[in-house]
């Protein structure tokens, strides 16, 4: 079996004396692994770095085998990412988020969002908005999407201000008022094309972090990305 496509390198690990195993995210194919023979040579190791994109050719006798990669780098990002702590932590956190997806399960919209986050030049406030929206969509792609369209109590579509931490359903302001201390705040920018108000991005990260922890990290007995706390603090002005 054989296929070729341009993919994003999200992880690299050593294999044997001279080889590497690449972890990649490929349009139409999802998260794919492959062995690069001689990948630890000085020339290849410098290019095959997380954050770079490469033209990949994968070959294997059977589809469920690890397979062999040949890789020709098409976009070099790694050096720029390493030079900027915020962008480096961003790339590491995005890779950790992509690893939550099943292997070889296509999620092209998520991949497009990752490439946009890596390639566009956002200030901290803008990046916080985009990253919070990414995490919300990640929950949906993992099968744990939140119902933020209607109030769980009344069914109305307007003035939705909070989310139930148990059901993941929105609650309107009137119904939320007596229980505000038990509910999660719902920033409007997550459901409408409006700029965030003060405190909204921090509230959005609390919201997405709660449901990622409940449905994914704790459920799978894995730790949240080590970079997330620092990054979310930085993007919300806490550092």
Among candidate residues 50, 80, 110, the one where a domain is terminated = 80
Question: Where is 25: in which H helix or E strand?
Answer: strand 19-26
Question: CA-to-CA distance for 40 and 36, rounded, in angstroms?
Answer: 9
Tokens 């004396």 — which residue? 17
DSSP for residue 154: T
- Total tally of structural domains belonging to the chain: 2
- Helix 108-119 and helix 124-141, axial crossing angle in degrees, nearest 10: 170
Among candidate residues 24, 58, 80, the one where a domain is terminated = 80
Question: CA-to-CA distance for 207 and 164, rounded, in angstroms?
Answer: 10
User: Are residues 75 and 132 located together in one domain of the fold?
Assistant: no
**CB 33 within 8 Å of CB 104:** no
Share of the chain above pLDDT 90, in %: 94
Question: CA-to-CA distance for 178 and 197, rounded, in angstroms?
Answer: 23
Question: CA-to-CA distance for 113 and 59, rounded, in angstroms?
Answer: 28
User: pLDDT value at position 227?
Assistant: 97
User: pLDDT value at position 43?
Assistant: 87
Residue 238, pLDDT above cutoff 90: no
Residue 26, pLDDT above cutoff 90: yes
- pLDDT confidence bin for 64, thresholds 50/70/90: confident
Domain-embedded: residue 93: no
Residue 157, pLDDT above cutoff 80: yes
Among residues 120, 135, 9, which one has the least CA distance to residue 73?
A: 9
65 Cβ neighbours under 8 A, 6+ residues apart: none
- What's the average model confidence in pLDDT over 203-227? 97
Question: CA-to-CA distance for 186 and 139, rounded, in angstroms?
Answer: 15
User: pLDDT value at position 104?
Assistant: 96
Residue 63, pLDDT above cutoff 90: no
The reported pTM is 0.95
- What's the average model confidence in pLDDT over 119-138? 97
User: pLDDT value at position 225?
Assistant: 97
Round the average pLDDT of the chain to a whole number and report it. 96
User: pLDDT value at position 9?
Assistant: 98
Q: Which residue has the higher pLDDT, 21 or 64?
A: 21
Over residues 189-214, the pLDDT tens digits come to: 999 999 999 999 999 999 999 999 99
Structural tokens at position 86:
């915020």
Question: CA-to-CA distance for 205 and 231, rounded, in angstroms?
Answer: 11
User: Are residues 72 and 142 located together in one domain of the fold?
Assistant: no
Backbone torsions φ then ψ of 158, nearest 5 degrees: -105, 155
- pLDDT confidence bin for 140, thresholds 50/70/90: very high
Domain-embedded: residue 97: no
User: Are residues 127 and 222 located together in one domain of the fold?
Assistant: yes
Over residues 78-97, the pLDDT tens digits come to: 999 999 999 999 999 999 99
DSSP for residue 61: S
What domain range is 40 assigned to? 2-80
- What's the average model confidence in pLDDT over 148-175? 97
User: Are residues 144 and 215 located together in one domain of the fold?
Assistant: yes
Question: CA-to-CA distance for 58 and 175, rounded, in angstroms?
Answer: 54
């Amino acid at each position: 079996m054989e296929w070729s496509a341009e993919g994003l390198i999200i992880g690299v690990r050593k294999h044997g004396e001279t080889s590497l195993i690449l972890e990649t995210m490929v349009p139409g194919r999802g998260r794919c692994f492959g062995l690069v023979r001689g990948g630890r040579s000085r020339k290849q190791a410098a290019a095959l770095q997380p954050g770079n994109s490469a033209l990949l050719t994968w070959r294997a006798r059977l589809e469920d085998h690890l397979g062999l990669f040949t890789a020709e780098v098409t976009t070099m990002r790694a050096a720029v990412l390493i030079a900027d702590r915020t962008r480096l932590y961003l790339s590491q956190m995005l890779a950790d988020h992509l690893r939550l997806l099943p292997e070889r399960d296509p999620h092209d919209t998520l991949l497009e969002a990752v490439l946009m986050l890596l390639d566009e030049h956002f200030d901290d406030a803008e990046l916080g908005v985009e990253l919070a929206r990414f995490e919300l969509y990640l929950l949906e792609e993992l099968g744990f999407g939140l119902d933020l369209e209607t109030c769980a109590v009344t069914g109305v579509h307007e003035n939705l201000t909070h989310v139930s931490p148990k059901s993941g359903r929105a609650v309107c302001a009137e119904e939320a008022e007596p229980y505000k201390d038990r509910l999660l705040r719902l920033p409007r920018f997550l459901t409408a094309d409006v700029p965030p108000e003060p405190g909204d991005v921090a509230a959005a990260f609390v919201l997405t972090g709660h449901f990622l922890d409940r449905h994914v990290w704790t459920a799978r007995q894995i730790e949240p990305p080590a970079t997330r706390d620092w990054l979310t603090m930085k993007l919300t002005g806490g550092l």
